[in-house]
Amino acid sequence: MHKKITTGLTSNGVLIFLLLFVADISIALNVPILRQILGIILLTVLPGLLILITLKLDKLGIAERIVLVIGTSVAFLMLFGWALNQLLLQFNYTKPLATGILMVAINLALIFLATGAYLRNKKTFFSSQHRLEINTTSGWFVLISSALPLVSILGTNLLNKTGNNSLLLVLLFAIPILVVFFSIFNRRISPNTYPLSLIMISAAVLFMFWLRSDHILGNDINSEYYFFQMTLNNGHWAIIGNSSLDSCLSISLLPAIFQSIIHFSGSEYLFKGVYALICAFAPLTVYIISKKYVGEKFGFLAAFYFLSQSSFLLAPGSARTNLAIFFFGLGIMILFLDNITNTNRKALFLTFIVATVVSHYSTTYIFFFLLFLTLILSLVVKKYSIPKSVTWASVAFLAVFGFLWYSQLVPVNYTLAIHFVQHALISFQNFFVQEARASDLGYLFGYGIKSGVELIWVQSAATWLSFLLIAIGVLGIFIKYKDMLLTSNRISPTNTFLHSKFETDYFIMGIVGAMILVASLVIPWVSVGYDLIRVYEQTAIILSVFLVVGGILLSRLIRINGHVILLTILIPYFLFTTFAAYEVFGIHETYILSSQSPSGDYEVINDQETAAAQWLKGNMDGTTTIHTPDYYSGNILISQGLISESLIDNINFYYHSDTTGYIYLSTYNVVDHKLMVNSQAYDILKFTDVLNKRDKIYSNGSSEIYK
């Protein structure tokens, strides 16, 4: 029997203005903790909530409302922040992102949105009933899921202080066990349980990366953090280095707004935390898309497959990409969402297109090709289609806005795109050369297996089996299209396990997504020029439901429960992409789970390296080149010293060439006596001829600087 948990009739208007008032006071007086909590709610909840009330979307399901509130809030922050930035700069006000003026502007914007909500939807604005129906079994599942982020925080703290990763391993094995119990008790679990638990599971795995170090972690994130700090320090957004990153408001303007409002004590923690917080809701888009076709219990497994993608697990270290994929997922979700008017659908879809464009260029390109090719292929089967969700107008809007944003703002983006296509075409002459492809493909095709690491074959098998289920799902729908595709002739599902038939547009989009993924696998330059793992994550937004369909179809063919087949693949897949399975066998593949991981020696930044980079920033000639032994040492200068990438050279040292200027050595160079070039470690003692010509001007026992 369901226990209905109902907050009853509440005055939304009163609560909104009360929250706004208390948040303003806590920010103005800089009240610790309260400022951070209310500031986050103010930025990530209130704008989207008011927009949903205005659009009369308050009757949607709990999952739809949650993800749309977060998504529209973040999109609003970027677009409103950019408009405010440009407007005030026109009036020669150079600090539009200063806390005072930003709070005034946000207050006025929220009051404007509240007025619109009142005029458009008075009943909901003044009072609404918020109902969450769960039973006793569901309550236990929600309670256990809610404990996972806490275990993640405690486990990461234990690893940081003692090097003990046992609590994190308990967490990573507990998550798939919980998923198994979801499948076992699916008939006794209320639908509202699934989205709440998904958020908690996503947060738990993202918190591990977020809290693993006091400093940022990863590669591209060092440059992203530099753009954030420059924007924050300048008090406004502007073109900084004529780089492709200049076009990504997601890693400059957005975190600067968060820091200006909530004033988090550690800016590196804030930068990582913004994306851990927002991207925790991304799997909900997959769940919402999938549950429409296969129901809540299988939609949950589709979302679990998506959050098992290694690129998603590292979201705090791949900021702009994962935020753009979140908006991409929202765009696809809104296209096929039921119980929404066409006007609202178009407005939200265009909003998420714009948010994707200003977040990340490569994700936008894939978005465009996906929609464009879907339309082209739909012409072939137009007689089987009902009115389309994907239109030429939306594709044209994406193309035009993308062109204007990238070509007029940062022309380098279009130049890079053109060069990418040229290299992809030329690379066909090396089609059968394995070395022409990215190293990531080695694990999929059986190459590059390290001696004694037989476990990688299990990971490769799980990956290929997931591909196989996707292929079975797509092929099965194609064969049974009369029962599984929504056409103008047959509307309701007949004789299938589907809760709703697939729109022809969505099915074609799945085929196109699979084609893009295959192209990333087989075209040499595509796999090198753009990270395959990112393509995999983006296409998984669409393909996850086909994996579930494939599992169900296969289960019916061999007469095994569909959950058994899916969990047999998904559980090892999750354990290997999180590297938990490797840790159990004493193989330390990632610094997220182990302080003994080799990559941690040159990717994890320590305080001494930060101190040296900051000393160099404060004492260097602003135009002199700084040489580093490798790419990773250069990253430290970018993020910790806030030194422009244009002043850093990480090539000449390795080739014993001209190193006129400064030389910066990291802990990996000084203590471990190594440098890392093209995934190969070299003894730095072989480069003493370079160092002997210079004078050591700084040393703290861990980092050194020469001139």
Residue 141, domain member (yes or no):
no
Does residue 322 fall inside a structural domain?
no
**Residue 360 and residue 322: Cα distance in Å, rounded?**
9
pLDDT of residue 427: 43
Residue listed under structure tokens 């593949």 = 589
Does 408 map to a domain? no
Domain assignment present for 639: yes
Q: How far apart are CA 541 and CA 506, in angstroms?
A: 12
Tell me what pLDDT residue 518 has: 82
Please check whether residue 686 lies inside any domain of the structure.
Answer: yes
Per-residue model confidence (pLDDT) at position 403? 85
Distances (CA, A) of 73 to 31, 99, 285: 24, 19, 15
HSE of 91, CA atoms in CB hemisphere, 13 A: 8
The 10 Å Cβ neighbour count of residue 414 is 16
Binned average pLDDT, 10 residues per bin, the chain of 707 residues:
46 78 91 92 93 89 94 96 94 92 94 90 70 76 93 95 94 96 89 92 95 90 93 91 83 95 89 93 96 94 94 88 95 92 93 94 90 88 66 91 81 55 45 45 46 70 91 91 71 67 91 86 55 83 95 90 92 92 87 89 92 93 89 93 91 88 93 89 89 90 92
Q: What are the residues facing 677 on neighbouring strands?
A: 680
Residue 241 and residue 141: Cα distance in Å, rounded? 49
The pLDDT, as a whole number, for residue 609 is 94
Crossing angle for the helix pair 361-380 and 532-558, nearest 10 degrees? 40
Name residues whose C-beta falls within 8 Å of residue 397's C-beta, 6 or more positions apart in sequence: 350, 353
Torsion sign across C-alpha atoms 682, 594, 227, 526: positive
User: What string of DSSP letters covers 190-223?
Assistant: -TTHHHHHHHHHHHHHHHHHHHS-SS--SSHHHH
Question: And the tokens for 69?
Answer: 């509130």
In sequence order, what are the residues at sequence separation of 6 or more whose Cβ sits closer than 8 angstroms to the Cβ of residue 128? 9, 10, 12, 58
Strand 648-649 relative to strand 626-627, pairing: parallel
CA-wise closest residue to 194 among 145, 259, 127: 145
Assigned token pair, 662? 């400064």
Q: Is 582 helix (H, G, I), strand (E, B) or coil?
A: helix
Q: Considering only CA atoms, which of 636, 623, 612 is closest in space to residue 696? A: 612
**First and final C-alpha spacing in the chain:** 75
Range of the domain at 681: 600-706
Strands 662-665 and 648-649: unpaired
pLDDT at 528: 47
Residue 658 in domain: yes
Specify if 655 maps to a domain.
yes
Q: Is residue 320 part of a domain?
A: no
pTM: 0.91
Q: Which of 306, 346, 343 is nearest to 326 (CA)?
A: 306
Q: Which residues contact 75 (CB under 8 A, 6 or more apart)?
A: 327, 351, 352, 354, 355
Q: In this structure, which amino acid lies at residue 37?
A: I
Distance CA 367, CA 352 (A): 11
Q: How many domains does the chain have?
A: 1
